[in-house]
Amino acid sequence: MELKRERIKLGNKIYLNAIKTDKFKSSLLSWYFIRPLNRDEVTKNALIPLVLKR
């Protein structure tokens, strides 16, 4: 089983992580956004993953 992981920097503290294996017919892509927490944007930060999941 071959497992390939690739990490690409898209911007300031924004990375694209890709993991591919021959075991499955599909690949997994995930994005991680690192943002500072503050009271004005807590709700926005919590909603980002839900909107992107659609």
* Residues 13-46: tens digit of each pLDDT: 788 888 878 887 777 666 666 777 888 888 888 8
pLDDT at 7 exceeding the cut of 80: yes
- Name the DSSP class of 4: E
Give residues with Cβ within 8 angstroms of 43, minimum separation 6.
none
The separation between the first and the last C-alpha atoms of the chain, rounded to the nearest angstrom, is 31
The token pair at 52 is: 């992107």
Say how far apart CA 26 and CA 9 lie, in whole Å.
22
Q: Domain-by-domain residue ranges, the chain?
A: 3-53
Say how far apart CA 1 and CA 8 lie, in whole Å.
23
